[in-house]
Chain A
Amino acid sequence: MDTDSATGFFAKTFGPPGSDPRFVHVESIPPREGAYAAFPADLDPRLSRALRGRGIDRLYVHQARSFEAARAGRNVCVVTPTASGKTLCYNLPVAQALLESSSARALYLFPTKALSQDQQAELNELSLSGELPIRVATYDGDTPSSLRAAARDTGRIVITNPDMLHSGVLPNHPKWIKFFSDLRYVVIDEMHGYRGVFGSHVANVIRRLRRVAAFYGAHPSFILCSATIGNPAELAHRLIGEDVELVDENGAPSAPKLVAFCNPPLVDPVQGIRKSTATESVELALRLLRAGIKTILFARSRVRVELIASYLNDALANVWTENERIRVEPYRSGLLPNERRAIEKGLRNGDIQGVVSTNALELGIDIGGLDAAVIAGFPGSFASFWQQAGRAGRRAGASLAVFVASSSPLDQYIVAHPDYFFGRDPESARLDADNPYVYADHVKCAAFELPFAEGESFGPDLEGALSFLEEDGHVRRTGGRWFWSSQGYPSEGISLRSATADNVVIVDATEGRDQVIGEMDRPSAKELIFDDAVYIHRGRQFVVLKLDIENRLCKVEEREVNYYTDAVVKTDLKVLSADAEGGEPGYAWSLGDVLVRSQAEKFKKIRFHTHENVGYGEVHQAPEETQTRAASLLFPPGSAGGAVLAKLSEAERAAAIASAANLVRQIAPVFLMCDPRDLGVSERSRDPHFDVPCIHLYDRYPGGTGLAEALVERLPEIFAAALERGGGCACESGCPSCIGVDWQVPFAQVPGRAVKASTRAFLSACAGAKRVADGPRAGN
């Protein structure tokens, strides 16, 4: 392979540029020279020896800068792409501190257990090769209780996750006295994952961590690492509550890279149906693999991952070279930990040449370098896209990322507007550490951990939260302090994540095997492994005998079938109560409880390869119901917004509401400091409960986390911002940055230009016409 030139690399597989019409755009990303720095003068000789032992005799500039800042006791936030030597940014200053003081300790936080294990392996390698006297211990839900005391007492670096810190470590801090007394550094990797409501929780866990450490006299500094996002320093500040020094110049060299957009050919030009993304991606991946190019293929769901991996392996199977064929593995959540480890290892040492993955491999799991990435369908965010594309590319050697567009409007827009795509900044990540519900929950946990002294400072309104908790009898104010005065163990009832941890275990019951082969979270299980569903596990096909939700058990039997199953899921929203109402001249709103119900009612049987529908079946599962809080935006005819809608045709009205909802969905998170995924949106041109056009915005966390309440207070600003974005966008007939393109599918008969105009009229009525007339963008 011609490793010097990305173009050569591409041409070798797909022919010279322009020869294959599927590749509608090929963007060349030039190579970058490395920027290096010598080992810091004060670097412990044992560390420099250990580094040289691994073939490292100088640092990248970002590593050197992180070292310097962390050594000076400043908080550091490092932004680095994949494979740029991120771990040394924190391992070096931490190891240095731990070598200088034989009692110093460090805490490493990783979002998942899998990442913790990776990191422990890497640290062990670093410390063993130089024989550094630093004990590294993992402390998470999988740590056997026999090892926990040793981890607490002798672990110089303790690796854990926010959930364990929240419910296991902090509530038992007296057992960690030695650890907390000498806590010098806290490392937070994959910081970009701590956003939205989850991030708000973690920010409060960090408040508690600081408070407990301070009780033992420790004031650790923080080293945070993030993938590229729009606002790393801001997110770091919100997460740890202090300023950070941003290190964002990347000193790692990178080889040239090509990002190619592939638009599968139209098979039915009249209806605009294109060749399937899966089929096209398989074909591209096969070409790459057969050319000896290590390839990762990203697909959007677990089922697709298994399906595509099976197609690839079927195509690569060769009776003549039974054991020498190219090996491809699926990688997704629900595999057993040892299976995941085996796949990661196989990828690193070259036994496995191809992998098909969900976004599970976006995270920093070490799988070594790959040469090409095929991205089957836009992953939902630009940050995700670049992380997936970043999986291809070693330090030396050209790499290739191919985006295979689906026929969704968003994907089609991207392939039609590459300039928009390559010119866009990555999304910003937000969290709100002062969300009252999240905050009050953690004040509760913190009171359990240590009594609060009057006048102590902790978060936005400690006195307010404590006196609220006193009304419920959770704390008691006496003798100048607030004591936890309840029986429970508060962190037990407070989950940092919306997804519940109660997994369904998948058991292979073929011929009495009775063996656990995987697991799946409960809501997904109802949609994926219902009775008679086909479950594919690393290419083996199983048919579900019985899904027993109550006992969290799913029995499957291995069986050869020629189809897979796809549930038809219906989601509906039912308004349960209206607790508060209000409005402006432009619109009205109602705040209340809603029931969001999703149910798989039937399933399709879809034949492998041809994807034709070969039958239906019934699903008999109780619906997955979430009661939560919603802000319902109402547009009755008497309101200015409703009046605009009333003048439109039915199709135009539906399109205008859909595109306004799309704008609000994009904009509201900015004002609520949440993640777009924390908010659900459901719009109707006539809502069955309110009997008027309506946009429901609901909290995706069961019970609500205050997003709906905060939303109604910010509505005037949100509408004004939506108008500015929708009205001010320079595009001609709508783009993903303004009114979106999703409305195009159901309302294809309405021209985009008209939708844009009516959406703008509708939003300016909602925002208050006066403001618009005076606004700088009027007349645009």
Chain B
Amino acid sequence: MASLKDRLRRAREIAGARADAPCAPAPPSGDRAPPEGFEGNGPGLLRRETFFPLELPQAWNLEPFLPAADLAASGDPRAVEAGRLRFFDLETTGLSGGAGTIAFLAAVGRVVEGGVSVRQWLIEDWPAEGALLAELARELDPEAVLVSYNGRSFDVPLVRGRFVMNRLRWPERPHADILHACRRLWRRTLGSCSLQALESAVLGAERDADIPGSEIPEVFIAFARTGQDERMDLVARHNARDVASLASLALEAARVHEEPFRRDDVDPASLGLWFSRRDAALARAVLERGFARGDARSGLALAALCRREGNEDARDAILAKLAPTPFTLVERAKRAEHAFRDPAAALALAEAALALERRQTARAALERRMERLRRRLGRPD
């Protein structure tokens, strides 16, 4: 019987597929031309450091980014010492995760005099991954606080798995992932909340040459196989630049959470809701401004705030000012029926709501409401 490999090969030929040209083993490290600025950092591992001049404060407010569980561990979250921050970002061999996806490039930025200094480690081939992870762990001293863009859902779970597979322990640290705060501020107003999109729209910065994130995995695969790929320069630049932008964006997002009127491009309703659990007066100010500018969601949030404060009259006024929707009409109908004892007005409002409502269950509830009101009015259907 033919060998397994021959049988598989024959099947592939029949299917019309051809093997890639058999790949030569990668040249030894010494023969490689490392990407721009990188130097050897042990077998198979490269390292470089890049400085980005930026104006950054000494104390950072991370409260908008840190989950409650991490708050206690990090001291006062509203004044975190700049020296503790580790802005970080990974480039990986795949975008869907899983045990076969590794981090081949890691960047860690620290605040230094006059800006951010970004250290990067790049592996030349798979076996050096453990060395990269060990360097990364060294950066995360016990006082360190991680700052990332989407690191909670992507980078940290992935790198935690990589540590497990290399029989290392991932140093758990407080982690400020700024993605959710950025979405809160800008998703409704700017649309895309990718780091690159916000870098351009919020920070007003433009990148000259860049590489789309989706192409990055194949660059490394080619780089590892052939020993070089000129696109790796772009990947490394992309990665370092992401970390520098992350620092600027974190600062700006934190400031908006302190001075809500600082920018006009933020979503007042979402920001107001965030404040409503912390500072009711500020929340009211943000929402009133949003509502005055015609933002209905701010109006609804304001109405909810009024109810929480027991100010039903103010709530009524807001609901009446809002464009009629099934929700506002039903809420007004409830008030007309129960607070003002005016079933006729309540019925009219419920009828108006029914005309707009399309969901089956909600329509059924409205019909029951109307039937009850008609009974009270002594009217047949």
Contacts and interface: CB of A to CB of B under 8 A. Distances in A.
A460 B4 contact: yes
Given A177-B164, A706-B11, A484 B100 contact: yes
Contact of A448 (B4, B100, B224): B100
A175 interface: yes
A449 B102 CA distance: 11
B14 A593 contact: yes
B99 A173 contact: yes
Contacts of A706: 7, 11
Contacts of A467: 5
Given A471-B19, A478-B26, A174 B5 contact: no
B94 interface: yes
A481 B19 CA distance: 21
A683 B7 CA distance: 27
A171 B165 CA distance: 12
Contacts of A172: 97-99, 161
A171 B98 contact: yes
Contact of B99 (A449, A465, A514): A449
Contacts, number: 115
Interface string A69-105: 0000000000000000000000000000000000000
A473 B98 CA distance: 18
Given A171-B99, A489-B98, A483 B126 contact: yes
A485 to B, nearest CB: 6
A171 B100 contact: yes
A451 interface: yes
Interface string B139-167: 00000000000000000010011101100
Contact of B8 (A171, A465, A481): A465
B221 interface: yes
Interface in A158-178: 170-175, 177
Interface string B92-107: 0111111110000000
Interface in A701-734: 706, 709, 713
Given A175-B161, A472-B19, A488 B94 contact: yes
Contacts of A484: 100
A252 interface: no
A464 interface: yes
Nearest to A177: B164
Contacts of A439: 4
Most buried by A among B4, B19, B23, B162: B4
Contacts of B338: none
B161 A489 contact: no
A421 interface: no
B20 A473 contact: yes
Interface string A464-477: 11011011110011
A422 interface: no
Query: In this complex, which of B26, B94, B218 has the most chain A Cβ atoms within 10 angstroms of its Cβ?
Result: B94
Nearest to A515: B360
A487 interface: yes
A706 B224 CA distance: 34
Given A471-B20, A487-B94, A448 B5 contact: no
A485 B8 contact: no
B25 interface: yes
Contacts of B164: 174, 177
B30 interface: no
Contacts of B96: 488-489, 492
Contacts of B11: 436-437, 706, 709
Contacts of B127: 478-479, 481, 483
Nearest to B15: A703
Interface string B308-348: 00000000000000000000000000000000000000000
B1 interface: yes
A612 interface: no
Interface in A459-518: 460-461, 464-465, 467-468, 470-473, 476-479, 481, 483-490, 492, 514
A490 B26 CA distance: 24
B114 to A, nearest CB: 39
A376 interface: no
| B contact face: mostly helix, strand, loop, or mixed | helix
A579 interface: yes
Contacts of B126: 451, 476, 478-479, 481, 483, 485
Contacts of A593: 14
Given A450-B165, A471-B20, A471-B22, A487 B93 contact: yes
A625 B184 CA distance: 49
B233 interface: no
A175 B8 CA distance: 33
B221 A486 contact: yes
Interface in B2-46: 3-5, 7-9, 11-12, 14, 17, 19-20, 22-23, 25-26
Interface in B74-102: 93-100
Contacts of A465: 4-5, 8
A470 B225 CA distance: 11
B221 A489 contact: no
Nearest to A580: B10
Interface in B210-259: 217-218, 221, 224-225
Contacts of B224: 476, 478, 485
B100 A449 contact: yes
B125 interface: yes
A468 B8 contact: yes
A464 B5 contact: yes
B100 A468 contact: no
Contact of A174 (B8, B23, B95, B99): B99
A579 B14 contact: yes
A401 to B, nearest CB: 45
Given A171-B99, A174-B99, A468 B9 contact: yes
Interface string A161-205: 000000000111111010000000000000000000000000000
A485 B5 contact: no
A440 interface: yes
Given A175-B161, A477-B25, 20 more contacts: A171-B100, A172-B97, A174-B99, A174-B165, A177-B164, A440-B8, A447-B100, A448-B100, A450-B99, A464-B4, A471-B22, A473-B23, A476-B224, A478-B125, A481-B127, A485-B224, A487-B93, A488-B96, A579-B14, A709-B11
Interface of A: 170-175, 177, 436-437, 439-440, 447-451, 460-461, 464-465, 467-468, 470-473, 476-479, 481, 483-490, 492, 514, 577, 579, 593, 706, 709, 713
Q: Which 8 A-B pairs have the closest CB atoms?
A: A174-B161, A448-B100, A479-B127, A471-B19, A484-B100, A483-B126, A464-B5, A174-B164
5 contacts: A464-B4, A468-B8, A472-B20, A479-B126, A487-B94
